[in-house]
Each structure stands twice: as structure tokens, then as C-alpha cells.
Chain A
Amino acid sequence: MNKFFMIPNKKDVSVFNEELILPLEDYSIGFDVYFSVQEIKQLSSVRDVSVIINKFLHKDDINNIREIISNLDSVKYFFIEDLGLVNLIDKERIVINQNHIISNYRSVNYFKRSNIDKVVLSNELTIEELKEVRANTSSQLFYFLINKNMLMYSKRKLVNSYYTYKNIESDDFKKLIVENVSKKELIVKEEKYGTVIFDNNIFSGNEFMNELTGFNFIINFNNMSEEEASIVMKYYNDSNISEYVRVDNYFMKNKIGYKVGDLK
């Protein structure tokens, strides 16, 4: 079992000796900091570094990224959302990271038949579902153990459009929003290539860490407040992290309904 870290600023590169996952500038979305090709090349020449490319890649992106990938030959793994990248990256360096998507062992095993043996599982699965996947595949499984989960990814400019409509002058494109009925807190964040919405609660699977044997854990500090990040930094290995910071693991304990009749 390995731990991978996603850091919220560049100075934290030296804080972690463990493996880092770096968002590739212009090809990723939803992070506090991005790394250029040159920065990734330099870092990957001296330590284990992986890269996340979680943007959907339209025509120019998919045409340009082939050369970028060829310049990143020291990168350990590429965590990819867009399955078009399967054709452009060595299979052994690919980690399938489709947000919310991989949720059963047959999917994991079918990727393996295509020589891709590393996948990130959805962290909306229950602990029993996760264990069942683990028991039914020999692939390497990755799991966002601590994360502000990205709940929505849009190509639209969802903050700027609202500001325009309301005649609001602001350069703040990361806002806390609250759903008016449920009072659920979310973070909306508009970037150059679209808008993402996060749960304002920190997801943490730490309570079940000991049952998640054979998983690689990803700990993502992005989109946390400084206070949250400093507490997570201190307790990310602790199964009782919930005693120190507000965390949520509802979906690890509860199956989610999907028909109106399922709701009790």
C-alpha cells in the first residue's frame, strides 16, 4: 500500500517525502496549484512524481498533448479522466481516474484485459462494495482517502456568467454556496477551462483504513482551508481523524437510493 499526495501549493513539494501527484497545467481542473511541463520534468528527474490530467480534451488539447507526454518520460503514473489518453500513454503508466465512475470489479478487470491494471475507485462506494472489488481483482486499486470531492465538472463559466447577469464586479471565482432547501454547503470554482463544484465537507475514509487493505491511498489537500489542511497534515494517518476536523464518510456506510421508491 502506498500513499500519494496532492499538495495545495508549490512550497509543499519539499514537505512530503512520499509520492506526489501533480496537476498538469492547462490539462487539469479543480486544483489550487498547477505544474508546468518544465517543473514536472525537473521534479520527476529527482523523485517519484505522477501527473493528473483530469480535463476532457477537445480537439486542440488532444492534438497537443501527445508531444507533452513524450516530454514527461520520467513521470511514474498518469492519472487520466479522458479515455482518449489510453492510446497516447504507455499502458503500464496509466491510472484510470474517471471521477465517480469505476464502481465494480468487472469494469476494473476489463481494463486489465486491455493491459491497464491501475484504477481509481469511486469513493461513493460502501466499505463492503470496496472490499468486494478488492476481493475480485488483482489490479492495483487507488482510492481518494481524504479529499474534498469534486461533485460536478462543467465546461461552462458558471461564476462569471452569474456576475455578468447580476452586474457584480468581482475577481473572486471561488465561492462558498449553500443550497437553499437542504442547506448543503458546496464550493463553486471557475477556472480558465470551466467550472467545478466541490463538497465543502472533507471526505475521509480513515475510519475504515484498516479494512482497506491492498489499496493505494490518495490524500488531496486542494480546496481545503489552511486550518483544515494543517489538521489533515497532522492526522492523515489517524483512523480517528474525525475527532480533530469535520469529515464525512456517509457513502461508506450507506447505500444510495436511485429510484424514488428507494427513499424511505
Chain B
Amino acid sequence: MTEILSPAGDLERLKWALRYGADAVYIGGYDYSLRANANNFSIDDIKEAIEFAHELNKRVYVTVNIIFHNEDLEKLDDYLIALSESGVDAFIVSDMAVIERINTLKLKPEIHISTQESSVNKESVKFWKSLGATRVVLGRECSRVDIIDILENVDIQLEVFIHGAMCTSYSGRCVLSNYVTNRDSNRGGCSQVCRFSFSMDDNNDYQICSKDLSMIDYVEDLVKLGVASLKIEGRMRSLYYIATVVNAYKSIVTLVNEGNLSEDDILYYKKVLSRVSNRDNVPQFFDKEPLVDEQYYTGRQEVSNQDFLALVISDEEDGYAIIEQRNNFKVGDTVEVFGPDTKARKFEVEEFINDKLESVNEAKHPQERLKIKVPFKVRKYDIIRVPILLTK
């Protein structure tokens, strides 16, 4: 079964990712991770995350994938041992120094080679395997033929990015952030200079900014090729984004495995993903070289998303559910519920009841808890959103 691998920037998002269908999550600790400015996890958080995941028979990988300077080595052994003793399933690593320490200390977690190494051919994958790696996260520049060639020649798990932001460069081979903003991109400080604007000749709008990645059209191919893990980018993303994207891709993989994936399913989930994304996404390198349409040229094209209306906190016996508001909606609106065990379904809002047992017409206060009448069974952890309307 092909794994859906979700990012998680903190414990709450980790739990939601796993509830919504992720088979594994990748997280970063306070140190040595490439998202230095995310909330990240303490060792105690990591222990709780692992306990939560393992109870669901799911896995947790921890990124230790910065490029290490000498001073970073000092506490590395203690950190790796603490992670290992916590029960982490794999380290995602890039620097040879980390691989050396894992092997020398004979630590139990698997070694996964980070995409920072931009592994794009069978020989580099063989090299990592010779150092004890059980999985390689391929460079996002790999095409279908690259992936097939590697799978045919090396017996190892491959992990492929399927969704989220892209580096313009080969991963790990960009230090624009260092030189333009004095923040070390390969130690978690990337300031995304690739999204800045530059002057060239008389134009001041030169950009090298890539659109985001979406491999929704090729998930079936990747599953059938035998790719072990489909990875979603975005440790800084919101709970709603993670739940929605994980749920979409998990549903697609399930449909592929059942032999039931249809064009209508793809169209529907494309719509779902486009609603939750704040940037355009395209397949990038899988079947062709990205050209003019795979980039942005006129500044950051980002739109805020207010589709996330409420969380279901609990369902009641009397046809009501208790919800927690996230964005405004009101009586008469048609909304959609979806969840880990709830197939997406719409209903019209008939009534809200507030904590003073008053009937109100609108859910307008952030994180306000309300009772809402629902004409079918909903469950704790379901999400209420603006309906996905499918128009061909």
C-alpha cells in the first residue's frame, strides 16, 4: 500500500494529519531541521506524537536535514539518541555527518535521504543504500523515466513529492537567502528569495518563482510504478490545509487500489485542492520540462482562503452538533461536511444555538462554540467548509 506522508508543524496538526488519512508524518525538532522558524517539536512532543501515531499503526519521521557546521555537531549524538529512544521510525537526513553518527551509534530508526541531496539517478540512490539508507526522497526534478530507471535498478523505497511548494533550484543548491538576506537556507533559514522581484535591463519585474506542485493527475501512475511514499510539502501549513490535502490524496490512492478511480473523482479532488491552495499548482517535471506557464512573473499570486467554516467538536443525540467557528457563515448558507469517516456531504444551515441557549442567525465570532442542526450524522473532528461545486 502506497504511503501518504504528511507534514506537521506541531502536535495538533500531526494529529489532524493522521486522523485525516496520513499513513506517516514528518516533523522537525527544535534543532537541525530545515524549517527553523516553524513551531516544531520538543522531545516530549515527539514522544507524544509517536505514541499517538503508533496507536494508529502509523509512523513518524523526524527531519535532521540541515547542513551541519562544526558547532552543530556538539549536541548531535544526544539528540539522535533521544529521538531513537523516543521510538522515531526514521531520520530524514542529508549531511554525511548525521549518517555517520546514526551508523556508528547503531541507532534503530531507518535512514531516509532528504530531497536536499537532489538524488535523481540510480547510481546516487545505490550510493545512499550502501550507507544504510532504506529510503531516498527523490529530487523534485525527477521525471517519470528517471523514477522508472531507479525502481528497475535499485531495491529500495522511493519517496516522491506530490503536492506543495517547489524550490526553483535543485534542493540544497540555493544559497540566495544567505547572500541577499543573510539567512542560511541550508540550516533552516531560507527567506524564499526566489519569490522576490529583480530588475533586469529596464524591467523591474524579473522573477524566478515557481508555481506549486500538484501530481494529482499522476498519482495512479506513481502507485502502479511502485513508489513507496507520496509526500506532501508544507510543515508551516494550517490544520485545514493539511486535513484537506491529506484527505484528498488518501482518497485517490484508496480509489486506485480499489480499481475505482474515475475522471470525475480526479476532477472533484482537483477542485478540492484548488480551493485550499493559495497558489497555482502544476505537475512540474514528471512528464515534461516546466516552461513559461509553470512560473510566476508578476509578484506573489496568493489569495487568502476562508473556506474553513468550523470544526465539529462533538455530535449530539438530538440531530445537533457542537462546532467551533473558524470563518463567518449564517443561517440559509449551504455548507459541506467532510471528515476522516464522513464522506463529503452538503446541508443548509437551519439554526445556530449559542452558549446562552439563544437561537442566532450567524456564526461570526472566532472560535465561538455553537450548536448547529445537522440533518445527518457527523463526527468529532469533521470539518465544515464552503461547498466544493463541481463545474465541468
Contact = CB atoms under 8 A, between A and B. Distances in A.
A151 B70 contact: no
A110 B125 CA distance: 17
Contacts of B68: 103-104, 106-107
A82 B183 contact: no
A160 B172 CA distance: 23
Interface string A57-94: 11101100000000000000000001111111000000
Given A104-B97, A257-B183, A155 B289 contact: yes
Nearest to A170: B201
Given A101-B172, A177-B199, A182-B180, A62 B189 contact: no
Interface in B132-149: 139, 141-143, 145-146, 149
A152 B141 contact: no
Interface of B: 36-37, 66-73, 95-97, 99-101, 117-128, 131, 139, 141-143, 145-146, 149, 168-170, 172-176, 178-184, 186-189, 193-194, 196-201, 203-204, 206-208, 210, 285, 289-292, 294-295, 297
Given A104-B73, A106-B101, A258 B187 contact: yes
Contact of A99 (B70, B149, B173, B194): B173
Contacts of A101: 67, 95, 172, 186
A184 B176 CA distance: 10
Interface residues of A, number: 71
B70 A157 contact: no
17 contacts: A56-B170, A57-B121, A58-B146, A59-B121, A62-B123, A101-B67, A107-B68, A110-B97, A136-B70, A151-B175, A158-B208, A166-B203, A256-B182, A256-B184, A257-B182, A258-B188, A259-B188
Contacts of B66: 258
B208 A84 contact: no
A215 B67 CA distance: 21
A91 to B, nearest CB: 12
Contacts of B291: 157, 160-161, 164
A84 B182 contact: no
B100 A110 contact: yes
Contacts of B100: 106-107, 109-110, 113
B32 to A, nearest CB: 11
A179 interface: yes
A251 B174 CA distance: 16
The 10 A-B pairs at the shortest CB distance, nearest first, are namely A84-B123, A258-B189, A106-B97, A84-B124, A258-B187, A258-B184, A110-B100, A107-B96, A62-B121, A177-B198
Given A129-B69, A153-B173, A199 B182 contact: no
Contacts of A3: none
Contact of B285 (A113, A149, A155, A195): A155
A56 B176 contact: no
A175 interface: yes
A179 B193 contact: yes
Contact of A162 (B118, B127, B131, B207): B207
Interface in A126-181: 129, 132-133, 136, 149, 151-158, 160-162, 164-166, 175-181
Given A58-B143, A86-B123, A152-B169, 20 more contacts: A57-B123, A58-B142, A62-B123, A83-B117, A84-B122, A84-B123, A84-B124, A107-B68, A124-B175, A155-B289, A158-B208, A158-B295, A162-B297, A165-B292, A175-B200, A179-B180, A180-B196, A180-B198, A258-B184, A260-B37
B36, B66, B204 interface centre (most CB from chain A within 10 Å): B36
B259 to A, nearest CB: 30
A84 to B, nearest CB: 3
A249 B66 CA distance: 23
Contacts of A110: 96-97, 99-100
B178 A154 contact: no
A100 interface: yes
Contacts of B207: 162
Contacts of A16: none
Nearest to A172: B201
A197 interface: yes
A104 B72 contact: yes
Contacts of A124: 175, 178, 184
B99 A152 contact: no
B139 A56 contact: yes
A105 B125 CA distance: 24
Given A58-B143, A152-B169, A259 B189 contact: yes
A136 to B, nearest CB: 8
Given A59-B149, A259-B36, A82 B169 contact: no
Contacts of B295: 156, 158, 161-162, 165
A149 B193 CA distance: 16
A110 B128 CA distance: 13
A82 B127 CA distance: 10
Contacts of B206: 162, 177, 188
A11 to B, nearest CB: 30
Contact of B199 (A58, A113, A178, A256): A178
A156 B292 CA distance: 10
Contacts of A58: 120-121, 141-143, 146
A45 B302 CA distance: 57
A51 B99 CA distance: 28
A186 B198 contact: yes
A86, A104, A156, A165 interface centre (most CB from chain B within 10 Å): A156
A99 B174 CA distance: 9
B121 A82 contact: yes
